[in-house]
A and B are shown apart, each in its own frame.
Chain A
């Protein structure tokens, strides 16, 4: 049973560079989420997909951030012109979809991709 898979797990980049993270959700999960988490804080919602459609984006998701899920399976999160404030853990998660969230339809998280912008 494979969980949510993310790579790379760690990325150090220079300010101004672009970075891309990949997420492979649990198979047959229709919904895929991206969250950002900094030290001492809870995960902050960025965006989510229902299959290939991006249905909701947070105000936190600036124009430098773009997420795609072209075939409704894996997803990528790209950050352009990185800034030091982008340093965080980027969490991907997935859920079965089709119904509202509940104990039988909860969100499962990946291990996260740590980004350090220097």
Chain B
């Protein structure tokens, strides 16, 4: 089966940098996704990694190490609006067309 683990909660200060970690185990790797979900709203796609390394997209970057089964989401220059849950997700097996999600990391940005 698949197991995706991420911290439950994190708190960071406005303007700072925060790193949200995710470890995963899948039977056949087929990419790692990060979604953002504000309270009461739909999850929205943030990033996708399938090769090792860092993918940068504005203030958000995502890193993947396939050999370690590890990813992180890096948020720079934190803004209050970044307070949300961040969901790590991956197809449960190679060739699967659905995503299995972690429980999400609730990030609180404080002034």
Q: Which residues of A contact B (CB under 8 A)?
A: 4, 31, 33, 40-45, 48, 50, 55-56, 91, 95, 97, 100-103, 106-112
Contacts and interface: CB of A to CB of B under 8 A. Distances in A.
A110 B42 contact: yes
B contacts with A: majority SS: loop
B60 interface: no
Interface string B83-106: 000010101000101111111101
Contact of A106 (B33, B87, B104): B33
Interface string B27-45: 0001101000000011111
Contacts of A41: 103-104
A102 B50 contact: yes
Contact of B97 (A43, A48, A108): A48
B1 to A, nearest CB: 11
B41 A111 contact: yes
A106 B100 contact: no
Contacts of A31: 97
A42 B91 contact: no
Contact of A101 (B8, B33, B44, B106): B33
B48 interface: yes
B103 A45 contact: no
Interface in B18-76: 30-31, 33, 41-45, 47-48, 50
B98 A48 contact: yes
B43 A109 contact: yes
Contact of A100 (B43, B45, B95, B106): B95
